[in-house]
Chains A and B, each alone.
Chain A
Amino acid sequence: MYQDPNIQASAELVAAARAHNITLDPPRMTAEEKEQLLRTYHPDYREDQFELLQVGPNKGEKVPKELAALLQGRSRIDPDKLDLDEPAYDVDVLVIGGGGAGTSAAIEAHQAGANVMVVTKLRMGDANTMMAEGGIQAADKPNDSPAQHYLDAYGGGHFAAQKDLLAKLVTEAPEAIRWLSDLGVEFDKAPDGTMITTHGGGTSRKRMHAAKDYSGAEIMRTLRDEALNRQIPVVDFTAAIELILDDQGRCAGAVLMNMETRELKIARAKTVILATGGAGRLHYQGFPTSNHYGATADGLVLGYRAGAKLLYPDTLQYHPTGAAFPAQIFGALVTEKVRSVGAMLINAKGEAFMNPLETRDVSAASIIRECSDRGNGVKTPAGWAVWLDTPMIELKHGAGTIEKRIPAMMRMFGKYGIDIRKEPILIYPTLHYQNGGLKISVDGQTGVENLFVAGEAVGGIHGRNRLMGNSLLDIIVFGRSAGQHAAAKAQSVTVGKLTLSHVARFHQALEEAGVDTGKISPKLLPTYNSLGKDF
């Protein structure tokens, strides 16, 4: 029972229409309808929210304003005043970031015999991986194939994915599932061992593997446990605040900052893997976010300053179903799996206004249209919303399905007195994923030699929109691959003299271009304290 009478009245319309709505299969939009919808309503098309970069490898290209301010911000250090000659750490492979990609990379580098170390600005496992709920794709059923997976992802990403990366993603997907399974990840299976798989938005085959709706958490805690069993050194609460190059321009370490004491230390490495994740906590265009506290695009800033190029930094993913009510969970992720298992999107009048399994960008734009021009949104304290009709799930699949398949969602809303088995929930798009990032070749290396990237900090694997379940997949496939390649490359590297001259040059370029954003970067943490003071 919703206390707000307008919300409750609309919820009752939804309940009254449920028996009818459940029989519907709303048609999918045509390619032309989708394109028109995206152009008109998707936040990526709001030109005034973007800015052209004036310095660096992507000069002249557009990025979100908030990102431009950080990419063209000033370093946290004075590059001329730091002594690089006596590094506190000296390793083969330095992994920056302790999420799913970084941890996978560390495990594989360790497996290859490299001396590998992980630095992470919070705790190991504090990452968007931990918060991924719905699942991981792999074409491992008889009616499916890596080619079918490629077609779904390529089309869903608007025919813009870097083809060799996408081919690697889909080809190595089944092996990624087996690797995780062998580590002890508990995938949902039928009694005979068959994987229980569902659709995600934009999939043409049911290839979403899950561990209830804790898929990412289950993967992350298992990877973390494995890294700890291998006794891989993890330096936590320590951020990389600048990459270090050597006198031949190759990446050769990082400047590290203790997040609590602010002490600086130098790490020298033969190869470096950036696995710093996404950018949701930059709150592009004022959107709430489903992202982890540390998602502030640090890796993009570090890589960009060191000379690595970005690909598609202007495309963001707004997850169609962020929690819109109550305020305490505003912006939190309501997993796409809720739709995979049968809930439909319903407007304030109780109408099923779209097919619930369109791709994320199309779904988000459609919800924004419903809440704006069409005037069919539900007014909430924070803005507008539409319904996700969760009680449909148990009407379709029987009582107990919600607790069994989406227990985290039941718990999240239950804490605020909403029983999703009996009442529909209010949702609105939330900033979810950075489609773009640093450009890599198929071995995971950027244009800066010995600088590898994996995970959400990479751009191009998914093109301009990512399908559900392809991010958990990419952190495993490209995380492992980066670890293997960085370890192999490290064997032949002799590090030259360490330098931060690239940072000094970047500062000089900013001055020459007359750019002063007033920001220092990387940002490291969002600013939520009431004093408004940046970290």
Chain B
Amino acid sequence: MEQMVNVFLFGKRYAVPASATIMEAMEYAGYQLVRGCGCRNGFCGACATLYRIAGDRQLHACLACSTKVEDNMYVATLPFFPLVKAVYDMEKIKPSQQIMMQLYPEIYACVGCNACTKACTQGLNVMQYIAYAQRGEYEKCAEESFDCVMCGVCSSRCPAGISHPQVAMLARRLNGKYLAPHCDHLDQRIDEINEGKFQALLSELMDNSQEEMRRLYNTRDIEK
């Protein structure tokens, strides 16, 4: 007999298998999920969830798809949170400190409470990456925030009204487009392709018999 625990989904009690994730527990209870369910594997941020264990004052945040239920767990899902997304033209903005000031000025109202970091479902140092964004250190902000799944729990806990995932998104795009070292071999290859350098070789492959293609494939040299 499978071991069962009691969970309280939106306050209502259900007995569910102890090995279930919160998401599986909801389905076990009979829910057909539409919102609050995405990749089911910790990448998409659809299933942000808040919970508290009875008797414990601390509020926890997690992803429902990758967190096991516990006995006497009180669960409230947060399938949507109204983040503020500034609209900008990547071709026109520059990776200056001013751009954050223009697009996300509320980051400078951070009171340093660290509630964002404590709430992060990915265990990221959210307050630190906001500090990097404040200083215009976008490369560091990008690195520190890289694993963000944009679930929005951090923002739900922020007294300053910061939309941390969107700030980090901007920092990563600025870093990827403007600050990361430029790739020259990519440009060279695109020029060669545009000049038609590989066209004859490709056409030859396309015209080959299946036998010839098998021979070429089975004898091709493989880079070590």
A residues with a Cβ closer than 8 A to B are 28, 30-31, 122-123, 125-126, 130-131, 138-143, 145-148, 150-152, 154-155, 159, 163-164, 167, 170-171, 174-175, 177-178, 181-187, 189-195, 199, 204-206, 212, 214, 216-218, 221-222, 225-226, 228-229, 231, 237, 259-260, 290, 292-293, 327-329, 332-333, 407-408, 411-412, 415, 525, 527-531, 533, 535
Contact = CB atoms under 8 A, between A and B. Distances in A.
Contacts of B21: 328
A529 B198 contact: no
Interface string B71-94: 000000000000001011110000
Contact of B89 (A184, A229, A329): A229
A33 to B, nearest CB: 11
B27 A126 contact: no
Interface of B: 19-21, 24, 27-35, 37-44, 46, 66-68, 85, 87-90, 122-123, 142, 146-147, 149-150, 169, 172-177, 180-187, 189-190, 193, 198, 201-202, 205-206, 210, 213-214, 216-218, 220-223
A333 to B, nearest CB: 7
A217 B183 contact: no
Contacts of B176: 181, 183-187, 222
Nearest to B178: A184
14 contacts: A126-B39, A141-B185, A167-B202, A174-B193, A181-B186, A187-B183, A193-B180, A193-B181, A195-B186, A199-B223, A407-B147, A411-B122, A529-B33, A530-B30
A528 B180 contact: no
Contact of A145 (B29, B173, B198): B198
A287 B164 CA distance: 38
A139 B223 CA distance: 13
Contacts of B185: 140-142, 194-195
Contacts of A290: 41
B28 A175 contact: no
A177 B186 CA distance: 8
Contacts of A222: 169, 172-173, 176
A529 B27 contact: yes
A151 B222 contact: no
A226 B44 contact: no
A145 B39 contact: no
A525 to B, nearest CB: 7
Given A126-B39, A185-B176, A529-B32, 4 more contacts: A126-B44, A140-B186, A204-B221, A415-B42
A30 B186 CA distance: 34
A171 B222 contact: no
Contacts of A190: 181
Given A151-B217, A204-B222, A189 B180 contact: yes
A293 B198 contact: no
Contacts of A145: 198, 201
Given A155-B214, A163-B206, A229 B30 contact: no
